[in-house]
Amino acid sequence: MAGLVNYIAESYNELKNHVTWTPWAEAQRLTLIVIVFSVIFSLVIWGIDTAFSNLIEYYFTLVKS
- Is 46 within 8 Å of 38 (Cβ atoms)? no
Count of other CB atoms within 10 angstroms of residue 5:
9
**Contact between 33 and 25 (Cβ < 8 Å):** no
pTM (two decimals) = 0.65
Predicted confidence (pLDDT) per residue in 37-48, tens digit:
999 999 999 999
| pLDDT per position as a tens digit, 12-56 | 999 999 999 899 999 999 999 999 999 999 999 999 999 999 999
Query: What does the alpha-carbon distance between residue 40 and residue 33 come to, in Å, rounded to a whole number?
Result: 11
